């Protein structure tokens, strides 16, 4: 229906199969375009006709699109050309009735504007109707002649007829009246002969009565004319007149229809009340024929969907139903004809712009028609969908939270295993330097495997948001320093480009982890591109499209964009889930994007993925920004910070860890460095050793221990010996608030012997402060 109101978009016409809809119409349909052949001559060209057009015109529609009407109907009257063109120019609908001589038919045509310079025609063949009206006129003439011929015979029934019979002159005086006139109105023959008939007509009917009287004076018969005449008692009677002029007189007969008019008035009152309710209702109301065609529709159709009720008349009930619901609608209609009713069934209906709206329908068969009501349920369904999405998001959040807790726990245990393995391998390597090359190669290979395991644990901790980060102010243009690494990682078939917005502020992030995240995204893009394509890194300030769940502030965007095949909605929704991968077995852990997501979240930012089939993928890391001056301050601090150097004296060190394997490895490395080491597997034992050994120089403690954590142990030690340095050894990035004030240094598991030596030296340095470095 929207095609009759405004120029449709082609995709709507295609999607909704409007030509098929038009071909179901019983009326002829034409869509045409005005052609100005000269300043004074107009023509129009056919753009589309439906099947009914051929049936109603008797012409073939084959190849008609693009032809001028004067080519199809050479003798078409000029007023048709000009009248339809005026509808397109004035943009106002108009109705025409008249013959098309060359076709030998008469049409009732509704012309309406479609768009600028275009119009549509809906038409009926009314040839038979016009012929009937002609026959009716001929019948009137025949009746007139018959009245004249049988006037003498009428004189015989003058006295006994129940209908009024009068003879009037052109002055409006009844010269003769039969007894029925005096009986019906109470006036005597003498009264009527002296009163001009307009004095007896109801004031509201006088104007029309005088027009009819003038027609009689001009020798035009009046076949049926209704007015009210005043009774002698002041009341009025409704009369239906037929009059025939002859020889300067008007011969008329009238029938009393007062009771009929009273019944009609009462019926009209009921109709008006129904119409008022019908029109005022916010729900859609319609009356269908039993074969499913619109007979009537209320004004709500136009207010809610954009269809005037007149436009709907005659169309099939499924014309406006969305394609995906048509089968269900036909099933309901079949059930309606069998059971006689339908109770609240929800179906999508198309508005005049092609948009879908949900309506809940009830319908009942009432005699020869179907009465149906539709109520808009868009808002309710929207709320239900929002509730469903919220519940899904909550379930997903709980799932991710559970996986994060599980992953963090697994990573912690794996970290301890790696720490034990790495420390043992390092000690073994140190004491087998003179062994064969094969032994050294095997040890080096084992250490490399442990290092790979360490990186995997970092991924798992990043996903669990428990990774240890060292955020600082970073100039993001330094990402270009990764160029050689990125190019060697993605291969020669992928072209890499960089785009940095001017005057970029600094980002607050752990640069090492950020580089790992960018490398991760680049490798993912390489796999998606299958080694060939474009990869770009776009860095800019976010102005107004920062994720809504971030805190107020300034943010930067690092977008890694490829022109690969993209992802479908299902894959995109799962892409950042832990352990989800589209790569083959052994080719991916499924933690890459989870690690990137974890890094962004842990850094106070966000991670977003945008992708669609055939449109590539954009992976965007959003990070908080700070002023560039902070970069300079940090660099100055670093440049003036003295480097830690290995100690040249023997220390007495207490090592605390609940994992015996880790404890053994750490003790072994420290003893190999020449230190005297005491060990404990829990906080209580550690405190007991400290009480007995007042000469302990340093405490190294694990964080995640049962009973008493490393931070709690540090707090107890600091309460009695605030000058005793403490190193907290853990793989977790998150610690209780205020933990750092008890620590001289922090060491991430697993660690190399060189890292342990450096942290020990730092903790005992005169410049050491209790902070998380």
pLDDT tens for residues 663-695?
888 888 898 889 999 999 999 999 999 999 989
As a whole number of angstroms, the distance between CA 718 and CA 601 comes to 33
**Predicted local confidence at residue 469, as pLDDT:** 64
The radius of gyration of the chain's CA atoms, rounded to the nearest angstrom, is 48
Q: Which segments of the chain have a pLDDT < 50?
A: 1-13, 584-590, 631-645, 771-773
3-state secondary structure 191-227: HHHHCEHHHHECHHHHHHHHHHHHHHHCCCCEEEEEE
**Predicted local confidence at residue 632, as pLDDT:** 43
**Predicted local confidence at residue 636, as pLDDT:** 41
Residues 6+ apart with CB under 8 A from 522: 486, 489, 490, 496, 535, 560
**Predicted local confidence at residue 282, as pLDDT:** 84
Residue in 676, 556, 568 with CA at minimum distance from that of residue 622:
556
CB 749 within 8 A of CB 663: no
What are 371's strand-pairing partners? 287, 364
Where do we find the tokens 């005088």?
210
∠ at Cα 123 (119, 127), nearest 5°? 145
**Predicted local confidence at residue 611, as pLDDT:** 86
**Predicted local confidence at residue 590, as pLDDT:** 46
CB 580 within 8 A of CB 590: yes
> Residue 234: exposed, middle, or buried by beta-carbon count in 10 A (0-12, 13-18, 19+)?
exposed
pTM, to two decimals: 0.36
**Predicted local confidence at residue 376, as pLDDT:** 92
**Predicted local confidence at residue 585, as pLDDT:** 39
Residue in 235, 230, 233 with CA at minimum distance from that of residue 202:
230
């Amino acid at each position: 229906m929207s095609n009759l109101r405004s120029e449709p978009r082609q995709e709507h016409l295609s999607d909704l199969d409007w030509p098929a809809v038009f071909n179901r119409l019983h009326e002829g349909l034409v869509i045409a375009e005005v052609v100005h052949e000269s300043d004074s001559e107009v023509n129009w060209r056919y753009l589309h006709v439906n099947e009914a057009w051929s049936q109603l015109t008797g012409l073939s529609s084959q190849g008609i699109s693009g032809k001028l009407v004067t080519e199809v109907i050479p003798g078409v009257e000029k007023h048709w050309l000009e009248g339809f063109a005026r509808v397109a120019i004035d943009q106002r609908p108009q109705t025409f009735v008249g013959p098309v001589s060359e076709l030998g038919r008469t049409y009732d045509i509704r012309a309406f504007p479609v768009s600028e310079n275009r119009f549509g025609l809906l038409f009926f063949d009314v040839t038979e109707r016009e012929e009937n009206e002609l026959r009716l006129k001929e019948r009137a003439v025949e009746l007139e002649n018959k009245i004249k011929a049988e006037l003498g015979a009428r004189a015989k029934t003058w006295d006994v007829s129940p209908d009024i019979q009068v003879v009037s002159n052109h002055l409006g005086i009844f010269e003769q009246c039969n007894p029925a006139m005096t009986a019906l109105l109470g006036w005597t023959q003498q009264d009527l002969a002296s009163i001009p008939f307009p004095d007896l007509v109801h004031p509201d009917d006088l104007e029309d009565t005088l027009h009819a009287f003038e027609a009689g004076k001009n020798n035009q018969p009046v076949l049926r004319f209704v007015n009210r005449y005043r009774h002698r008692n002041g009341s009025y009677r409704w009369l239906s007149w037929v009059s025939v002029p002859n020889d300067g007189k008007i011969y008329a007969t009238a029938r009393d229809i007062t009771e009929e008019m009273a019944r009609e008035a009462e019926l009209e009152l009921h109709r008006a009340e129904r119409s008022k309710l019908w029109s005022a209702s916010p729900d859609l109301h319609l009356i269908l024929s039993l074969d499913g065609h619109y007979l009537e529709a209320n004004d709500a159709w136009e207010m809610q969907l954009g269809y005037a009720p007149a436009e709907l008349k005659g169309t099939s009930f499924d014309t406006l139903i969305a394609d995906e619901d048509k089968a269900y609608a036909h099933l309901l209609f079949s059930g309606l004809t069998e059971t006689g009713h339908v109770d609240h069934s929800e179906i999508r209906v198309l508005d005049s712009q092609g948009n879908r709206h949900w309506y809940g329908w009830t319908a009942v068969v009432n005699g020869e028609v179907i009465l149906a009501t539709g109520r808009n349920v868009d808002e309710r369904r929207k709320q239900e969908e929002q509730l469903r999405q919220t519940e899904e998001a909550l379930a997903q959040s709980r799932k991710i939270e559970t996986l994060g807790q599980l992953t963090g726990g697994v990573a912690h245990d794996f970290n301890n295993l790696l720490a034990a393995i790495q420390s043992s391998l390092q000690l073994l390597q140190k004491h087998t330097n003179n062994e064969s090359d094969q032994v050294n190669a095997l040890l080096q290979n084992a250490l490399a495997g442990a290092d790979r395991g360490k990186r995997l644990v970092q991924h798992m901790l990043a996903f669990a948001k428990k990774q240890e980060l060292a955020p600082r102010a970073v100039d993001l243009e330094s990402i270009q320093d990764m160029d050689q690494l990125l190019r060697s990682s993605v291969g020669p078939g992928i072209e890499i480009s960089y785009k940095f917005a001017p005057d970029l502020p600094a980002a607050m992030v752990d640069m090492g982890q950020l580089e790992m995240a960018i490398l991760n995204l680049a490798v993912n893009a390489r796999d998606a591109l299958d080694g060939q394509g474009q990869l770009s890194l776009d860095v800019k300030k976010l102005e107004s499209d920062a994720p809504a769940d971030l805190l107020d502030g300034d943010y930067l965007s690092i977008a890694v964009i490829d022109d690969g095949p993209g992802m479908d909605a299902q894959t995109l929704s799962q892409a950042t889930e832990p352990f989800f991968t589209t790569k083959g077995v052994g080719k991916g852990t499924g933690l890459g994007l989870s690690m990137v997501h974890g890094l962004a979240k842990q850094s106070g930012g966000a991670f977003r993925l945008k992708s669609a089939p055939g449109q590539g993928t954009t992976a965007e890391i959003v990070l908080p920004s700070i002023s560039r001056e902070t970069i300079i301050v940090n660099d100055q601090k670093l440049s003036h910070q003295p480097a830690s150097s290995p100690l040249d004296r023997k220390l007495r060190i207490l090592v605390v860890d609940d994992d015996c394997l880790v404890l053994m490895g750490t003790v072994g490395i420290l003893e190999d460095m020449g230190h005297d080491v005491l060990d404990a597997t829990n906080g209580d034992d550690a405190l007991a050793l400290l009480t007995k050994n007042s000469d302990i120089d340093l405490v190294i403690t694990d964080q995640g221990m049962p009973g008493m954590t490393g931070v709690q142990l540090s707090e107890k030690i600091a309460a009695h010996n605030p000058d005793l340095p403490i190193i907290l050894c853990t793989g977790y990035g998150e610690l209780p608030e205020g933990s750092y004030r008890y620590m001289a240094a922090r060491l991430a598991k697993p660690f190399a012997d060189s890292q342990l030596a450096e942290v020990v030296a730092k903790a005992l340095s005169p410049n050491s402060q209790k902070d998380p470095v």
